[in-house]
Amino acid sequence: MTIKAKACIVGIGETDYRRWGHITDRSEFQLACQAIGAAARDAGIAVSDIDGFATYAEARIDAATLQLALGMPSLRFSSATWGGRGGGTCSALAHAAMAVESDRARHVVVFRTLAQGQSRRYGRFDPARPQGNIRHRSAYSRRRR
């Protein structure tokens, strides 16, 4: 018995790395778009060929907004692993592979955005200004006992 997988990593994209708080010329969203464009070029595909996203660790960027900004004609798959630190990368890769293997999508980008200094610091939860997909939890943190 042989296993022929359809899913594989075909392109990698990244932006420049700087010290905490020193990325001031571009937003985290612009950095994500730049890295996704670089990954598509590395893979030899057009950005419009991408039809899925997988991410982790409470990304502040949602798939529908990326789709519109990148000019993608369709978004067939989207996945976000909540609290995915540590094993989050593996989880996002597994979700992307499952999407390709099940023909839900053809080209899925696994991404993680982080521009420290442009948003709240990790480990310092502020219920007055919740970020990303943790917004729904902030109401419970204000509950009186």
Q: Per-residue pLDDT tens for 50-107?
A: 999 999 877 678 889 999 999 999 999 999 887 766 788 889 999 999 999 999 999 9
β-pair type (77-81, 52-56): parallel
In a domain, 119, yes or no: yes
Query: What pLDDT band is residue 16 in, cutting at 50, 70 and 90?
Result: confident
Calpha distance 96→94 (Å, rounded): 5
Contact 50, 107 (CB under 8 A): yes
Task: Please check whether residue 116 lies inside any domain of the structure.
Answer: yes
Positive or negative, the CA dihedral 69, 22, 115, 42 is positive
Domain of 84 in residue numbering reads as 28-141
Q: How many CA atoms lie within 13 A of 84 on its CB side?
A: 22
The number of domains in the chain is: 1
Chain CA centroid to CA 38, Å:
15
Q: Is residue 107 part of a domain?
A: yes
- Confirm whether pTM is higher than 0.75: no
